[in-house]
Amino acid sequence: MRFFSALISSVVLLASSVNAYANPGACSGTCNNAHDPSLIRRSSDGTYFRFSTGGGIAIHTAPAITGPWTYKGYALPSGSKINLSGNTDLWAPDVHLIGSTYYLYYAVSTFGSQSSAIGLATSSTMDVGTWTDLGATGVASDSTKIYNTIDPNLIAVGSSYYLNFGSFWDDIYQVVMASTPTLTAGTSSYNIAYNRSGTHAEEGSYMFYYSGYYYLFFSRGICCGYDTSRPATGAEYSIMVCRSTYATGGFIDKSGNACTASGGTVVLASHGTVYGPGGQGIYQDPTYGLVIYYHYVDTTIGYADSQKVFGWNTITWSSGWPSV
């Protein structure tokens, strides 16, 4: 009887491990204050920079992705010159090195509002005190639009630049940027991901090119306010992906469903003490290889937005699809 019980336990354990997600990688130092992280490494000295939502965009640095992370201050301590509500509490940074200049895209909005705009700041080093706010990029929304211009993400395709953005309403859109991507190249935009059900809860897109495909990662579900009201089980943030051979559309999930018709394959969802992972990005780490990074709630710490923790995992691939 003991043998039979042990055999059943082993089968259950094996089945659960097949469907399990890896726990986040090591993190030391200041690992909270990590909502909507953007991760980049300065090539001149190998310093890691982590930018996150809140105030003038918090900056943390570390010698490695594992830490120890140290808070340095705000990128834009006076906020944005964009004249909208929320311009001193900036969201969803997205940082890239273009030529010899670092570009920091950010969103100006207030929670639940469609009165939003995407701004840009630049720096030659990323250090606190070196950022210059350039203000509006020309990507903005209001109640007349079918999209919301938050959660910016830039991708370069050859000599062209595209900015992905969006949240709820009709979800994720894309616009062409100028050859120097400080401004949009026009007002035309097009939908690249849309969840037809419920409140259309998709946002936080991040596009990444790998092995012949453009992978569109995005966060689906409810992101915030878990300390006061948690959504139904499974309705919290999770990380999804679709892919296409083009950066401008045609994204499908692993089952062949269009990303514009509620498609999306789960990459990472709540598990163990990890709750509501999202706000993700992809980074090629010199030590750990290709990683996905994100914020999450550690249920042993707390559910408040200010307690969101920085997480990361190495990515593995199977038949052209990522997993952790």
Q: How confident is the model at residue 10 (pLDDT cuts 50, 70, 90)?
A: very low
Cβ–Cβ under 8 Å, residues 264 and 240: yes
Distance of CA 85 to the CA centre of its chain: 23
Whether the predicted pLDDT of 292 surpasses 70 = yes
For residue 319, give both structure tokens. 């038949």
Characterize 45-84 residue by residue with b for buried, 16 or more Cβ atoms within 10 angstroms of its Cβ, and e for exposed: eebbbbbbbbbbbbbbbbebbbbebeebebbbeebbebeb
Three-state helix/strand/coil letters over 261-303: HCCCEEEECCECCEEEEEEEEEEEECCCEEEEEEEEEECCCCC
Rounded Cα distance, 202 and 258, in Å: 14
At residue 20, the pLDDT reads 83
Whether the predicted pLDDT of 11 surpasses 80 = no
- Chain segment 16-53, per-residue pLDDT in tens: 334 589 999 999 999 999 999 999 999 999 999 999 99
Averaged pLDDT score across all residues of the chain: 94
Structure-model confidence comparison of residues 223 and 18, the more confident one: 223
Cβ–Cβ under 8 Å, residues 95 and 56: no
Mean pLDDT of 222-230: 96
Whether the predicted pLDDT of 126 surpasses 80 = yes
Rounded Cα distance, 160 and 233, in Å: 41
Cβ–Cβ under 8 Å, residues 205 and 266: no
For residue 269, give both structure tokens. 């969802």
Cβ–Cβ under 8 Å, residues 5 and 278: no
- Chain segment 47-85, per-residue pLDDT in tens: 999 999 999 999 999 999 999 999 999 999 999 999 999
Q: Which of 44, 54, 64 is nearest to 92 (CA)?
A: 54
Give whole-number Cα distances, 129 to 43, 51, 59, 95, in Å. 19, 14, 11, 16
Q: Which of 131, 132, 130, 76 is nearest to 108 (CA)?
A: 76
DSSP structure class, residue 167? B
As annotated, the active-site residues are 36, 203
% of the chain exceeding 90 in pLDDT: 93
Mean pLDDT of 155-182: 97
Whether the predicted pLDDT of 5 surpasses 70 = no
Mean pLDDT of 191-209: 97
At residue 12, the pLDDT reads 33
Whether the predicted pLDDT of 297 surpasses 50 = yes
- Chain segment 81-98, per-residue pLDDT in tens: 999 999 999 999 999 999
At residue 273, the pLDDT reads 97
Domains of the chain: 28-323 (2.115.10.20)
